[in-house]
Amino acid sequence: MTRDEIKDLILEIIKDIDEDADFNTLQSDLPLRDQLDLDSMDFLDIVMELRKRHKLQIPEEDYPQLASLSSCVNYLEPLLKNI
Amino acid sequence: MPFSLDKAADRYDVIVIGSGLGGLTTAKRLSYCGHKVLLLEFHHQLGGLATWFKRKGHIFDVSLHGFPYGMVKTCKKYWTKEITQSIVQLKNIVFDNPQFSLKTTFDRLDFTALLHQKFKIPQLTIDRFFATVAGMNFYDDQTMTTRELFEEFFPGRSDVHRLLMEPITYANGSTLDDPAITYGIVFSNFMNKGVFTFEGGTDKLIGLMTEDLERNGVTICTSARVDRIIVEKGQVRGVEAGGRTITAPAVVSNSGITNTIQDLAGRDSFSSDFLAKADAIRVNNSSCQVYIGLKPEAVIEEKGDLLFTSTAPVFDSSELLDLHTRSKTFSIYYPKTRPGHDRHTIVASMNSRFDDWSTLTQEAYDTEKQALIARTLVDLNRYFPDIESKIDWLEAATPKTFNRYTLHTRGTSFGTKFEGLAVSRALFKEVGGLFHVGSVGIIMSGWLGAINYGVIVANDVDGYVRSL
């Protein structure tokens, strides 16, 4: 997956979690939690969805890597490079 | 329709023992993730403590008293649209005790106004208090107690302590001496938008959840009591139930955490270090309830949806647990809360200690039960004069009743104290494939806590099964 495809994947999963999420003003480097109405349960949903769709196992200690859109992409890029 | 045990296959990906809201939600999430799931419930009805029973044309809800608005988002994400759309607000929450009487929507805006205008608390103190509890996380420092939290913000104000604490004591069984985070997290959840209920009652909710599980391919067996969880060489192999062995690489117990360790898996399955932690778990208290059904023609004035009443002079955690407590809540179910059903029911709830009831002789037990009903009617009469002439059903439940239907250690109706959470979360690291979901640690209790914990545990199970 390219960086753009990974970004789209994350946004698509967030859209499933919250259909009202507004991505127009979303800044990649700022925490998703501060910009969208996401709580810790929502981040767990992202982890579960990545495991379901792409068999990715994200250990609990790596959850902080999912904080912002760009940190998500940086973290997932090597893991999804062959997909 | 749920099956009997003989219809179950010999092997599943995951077996869930118990169908409380946590067990149901874990089963739902795991089937959604593509696993073959078997759900076993010992009772003939699903729901665990989210239960109801029918008497003489009445349907009594046992634990549907009000949950936070967060339930809307949770049901939308993890259950169905139909379930989500049945969630409605309870707008009239009443407090009545010797220190104050008031009516509130039980949200931050209304509580801020009450604290400022009625209790004369400075605005800045109120804002700082709300900011403090809203910022609490379950992994925060646990050394501060709720009592200390209240003393810091509202020193010597036992009336304010009562307003803030009494409802949460009924919601999760916590006391002033439990960690402040167990109070703050639950209180903040309610303060978000107020108190909500499920229109149509517990039977409708559990019915919709059952249909959804069946659509997702979960095999559900009722009247199917699990005798033992099979553990071999530190790994789960399956369960023994009704003389059968059913295998699975993962077993999720929605039985109590203490029951799971002591009775189902057995002490031999655990290391002495782990057992030391498990033995230190304190189960929370139990409850007493009085179920009151009104005659078909009876009409009562709308006095509120949820009444926190007490004739005790001040709030005291131990007074609320006393065998003869003078504090109780009344949940009033008007016909509008159960569309298509035209009866009024009232459920009085009190917190209670198992040992106070289990040690009584049968004769003393029966006498105490009648006295409990009599005290409840005296209290109810203050709000609905001449209520006794309108009643056509009266029945009481005690901690022994809760124990009989849930099998929970000492009939606990609020799971365990805080230390139970860490043991529940660590179970699968001790015995591979063994998980627990259910009310633990005070914060993972109540309807919302149980469902969310079901999702958290399902994530652990899914990760484990896929790593095999």
Q: Pick out chain B residues at pLDDT < 70.
A: none
Is any Cβ of chain B less than 8 angstroms from the Cβ of A4?
no
Interface of B with A in 73-102 (CB under 8 A): 74, 77
B466: nearest CB among A41, A44, A55: A55
Q: How many CB atoms lie within 10 A of CB B248?
A: 24
Residue pair B252/B238 in contact (Cβ under 8 Å)? The answer is: no
Longest dimension (CA), chain B: 65
Residue A60 has pLDDT above 90, yes or no: no
In whole angstroms, give the CA distance from residue B65 to residue B93.
Answer: 11
Residues of B in contact with A17 (CB under 8 A): 77
Contact assignment for B33 to A48 by CB distance below 8 Å: yes
pLDDT tens readout for residues A3-44: 999 999 999 999 999 888 999 999 999 999 889 988 889 999
Instruction: Name beta bridge partners: B436.
Output: B253
pLDDT of residue B442: 87
**Among candidates A42, A10, A11, which has minimal Cα distance to A24?**
A11
Right CATH for B54-89+196-200+284-406 from 3.30.200, 3.90.660, 1.10.3210, 1.10.10:
3.90.660
pLDDT of residue B138: 75
What is this model's ipTM?
0.92
Contact assignment for B463 to A51 by CB distance below 8 Å: yes
Residues of B in contact with A44 (CB under 8 A): 455-456, 459
Contacts of B197 (CB under 8 A, 6+ apart): B64, B65, B66, B67, B87, B88, B89, B90, B305, B337
Nearest CA in chain B to A56: B463
A57: nearest CB among B34, B458, B463: B463
Q: Which contiguous run of DSSP H or E holds residue B148?
A: helix B146-153
pLDDT of residue B350: 97
pLDDT of residue B161: 97
Class of domain B5-50+203-282+414-467 as given by CATH: alpha beta
The reported pTM is 0.95
Residues of B in contact with A41 (CB under 8 A): 74, 77, 452, 455-456
pLDDT of residue B252: 98
Q: How do the domains of chain A map onto residue ranges? A: 3-18+28-79
pLDDT tens readout for residues B293-334: 999 999 899 999 999 999 999 999 999 999 999 999 999 999
CATH 3.90.660 occupies which residues in chain B?
54-89+196-200+284-406
Residues of A in contact with B459 (CB under 8 A): 44, 47-48
B466: nearest CB among A17, A45, A57: A57
pLDDT tens readout for residues B146-186: 999 999 999 999 999 999 999 999 999 999 999 999 999 99
**CATH fourth-level superfamily of A3-18+28-79:** ACP-like (1.10.1200.10)
For an interface test with B, which of A17, A18, A39, A41 has the most B Cβ atoms less than 10 Å from its Cβ? A41
pLDDT tens readout for residues B99-118: 999 999 999 999 999 999 99
A47: nearest CB among B29, B34, B459: B459
Q: DSSP state, B271?
A: -
